[in-house]
């Protein structure tokens, strides 16, 4: 399995030996910089994007919602260093997948819903390009479900149900009458996820065994199903639903669940049992999405295969310009450069000098370069079902690959 076209992009970055790229590659890199800058479009495809999920999609909500924003690691450098040049509340050194999707369709970066709702006088013009409701640390299922099972998350309860509540609160400001809302939402792209990893990892970190954690999967999937059905009832026509990424390849997971048993690892060095849990979730998700699609033939339900795109990068890291390593770029200590007590964002922790050579940013999240490679594989259509590029024409095309 090969990611479409993206090996060409990997060459647009300097390699780890410090060699200079040739003039042709330099030209491609300049084209990349030009083509990923948002620009006005003449023929609109999606007029807005609304996103829900966890830290892979959060553009600032977790920080804004906190009583003490400075207490969060993501509020401090080196987060945001390679693009925004300051922390934005995104869990990466630069842009997220949701940012690249917005750029691709010629739309502005979505504001975090918390900043909009705390603004007081909400203007339709402030949210006409969409809103991002995702929150770092969010689980799909409500916290009450986990509390009944002895799993306590003291950091956040911004579940999918909570995020949907925020969306419904903002809806009257986005559109007026029900018919107007129906029309506007039909021309919007909804991204529900990724979400689910926190549902499973929170329990595992608190001592629950894998058999019990697997029993949560139907609850998580049902929560995602209910969210999608709510959106359809409100008028949504195009809904992208990403699956869970391979958590068994994350530096934090590899550190917390390190094993002396070689059979626990795949040839890439990722934890088999964790990735099997993600795959179990993803299979159930696909089945549920097929059912929703069958019941709603006038709606486009797009399955986004984050898992296999990410595994392609991990398995063939050098081909895409990465150092062959599962270690975090921004972290300290141990085989995987991760220590939960001293993490990225702490003053004594520095990022690696060339983040674009790494897949893993901080032990939990990908670098901006990995994010753009995943984004491009999605938008190419190969890793979405149905192919997203067959549903509408983007505002810009990555013609530098041709």
**Active site members:** 55, 362, 365
Measure the CA–CA gap between 168 and 173, rounded to whole angstroms. Answer: 10
> Helix (H, G, I), strand (E, B), or coil: what is residue 39?
coil
> Helix (H, G, I), strand (E, B), or coil: what is residue 399?
helix
Measure the CA–CA gap between 14 and 22, rounded to whole angstroms. Answer: 10
R_g (Cα) of the chain, nearest Å: 20
Measure the CA–CA gap between 371 and 397, rounded to whole angstroms. Answer: 18
Report the greatest alpha carbon distance in the chain. 61
Token duo for residue 200 = 């499973």
Q: Which residues pair with 271 in a beta bridge?
A: 265
Measure the CA–CA gap between 196 and 193, rounded to whole angstroms. Answer: 8
Strands (E), 203-282: 238-242
CB atoms within 10 A of CB 267: 6
Q: If you ran DSSP here, which 8-state letter would residue 51 be given?
A: E
Measure the CA–CA gap between 59 and 133, rounded to whole angstroms. Answer: 9
CB atoms within 10 A of CB 341: 7
* Residues with Cβ within 8 Å of residue 135, at least 6 apart in sequence: 54, 55, 58, 61, 62, 65, 156, 158, 163
Determine contact, residues 292/228, Cβ cutoff 8 Å. Answer: yes
Q: If you ran DSSP here, which 8-state letter would residue 265 be given?
A: B
Handedness of CA 291, 148, 279, 242 (dihedral sign): positive
Token duo for residue 309 = 């795109």
Determine contact, residues 202/149, Cβ cutoff 8 Å. Answer: no
How would you classify the pairing of strands 384-385 and 300-304? Answer: antiparallel
């Amino acid at each position: 399995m090969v990611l479409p076209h993206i090996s060409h992009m990997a060459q647009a970055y300097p390699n780890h030996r410090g060699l200079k790229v040739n003039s042709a590659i330099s030209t491609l890199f300049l084209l990349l910089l030009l083509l990923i800058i948002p620009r006005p479009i003449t023929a609109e495809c999606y007029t807005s994007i609304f996103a829900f999920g966890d830290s892979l999609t959060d553009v600032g909500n977790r920080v804004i919602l906190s009583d003490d924003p400075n207490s969060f690691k993501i509020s401090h450098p080196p987060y945001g260093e390679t693009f925004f040049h300051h922390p934005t509340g995104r869990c990466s050194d630069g842009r997220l997948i949701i940012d690249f999707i917005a750029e691709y369709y010629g739309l502005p970066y979505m504001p975090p819903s918390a900043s909009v709702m705390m603004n007081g006088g909400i203007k339709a013009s402030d949210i006409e390009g969409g809103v991002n409701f995702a929150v770092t640390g969010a689980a799909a299922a409500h916290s009450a479900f986990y509390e009944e099972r002895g799993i306590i998350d003291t950091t956040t309860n911004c579940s999918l149900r909570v995020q949907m509540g925020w969306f419904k609160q903002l809806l009257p400001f986005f559109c007026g009458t029900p018919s107007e809302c129906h029309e506007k939402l039909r021309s919007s792209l909804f991204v529900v996820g990724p979400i689910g990893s926190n549902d499973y990892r929170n329990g595992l970190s608190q001592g629950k065994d894998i058999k019990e954690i697997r029993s949560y999967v139907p609850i998580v999937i049902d929560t995602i199903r209910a969210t999608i059905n709510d959106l359809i009832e409100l008028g949504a026509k195009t809904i992208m639903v990403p699956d869970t990424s391979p958590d068994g390849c994350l530096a934090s997971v590899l550190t917390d669940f390190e094993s002396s048993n070689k059979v626990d690892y795949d040839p890439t060095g990722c934890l088999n049992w964790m990735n099997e849990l993600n795959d179990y979730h993803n299979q159930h998700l696909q089945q549920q999405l097929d059912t929703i699609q069958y019941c709603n033939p006038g709606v486009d339900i797009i399955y986004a295969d984050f898992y296999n795109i990410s595994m392609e990068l991990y398995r063939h890291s050098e081909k895409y310009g990465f150092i062959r390593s599962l270690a975090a770029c921004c972290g300290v200590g141990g085989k995987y450069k991760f220590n939960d007590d001293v993490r990225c964002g702490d003053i004594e922790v520095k990022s690696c000098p060339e983040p674009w050579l790494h897949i893993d940013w901080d032990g939990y999240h990908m670098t901006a370069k990995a994010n753009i490679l995943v984004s491009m594989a999605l938008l190419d259509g190969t890793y979405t079902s149905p192919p997203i590029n067959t549903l509408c024409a983007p505002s810009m095309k990555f013609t530098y690959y041709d």
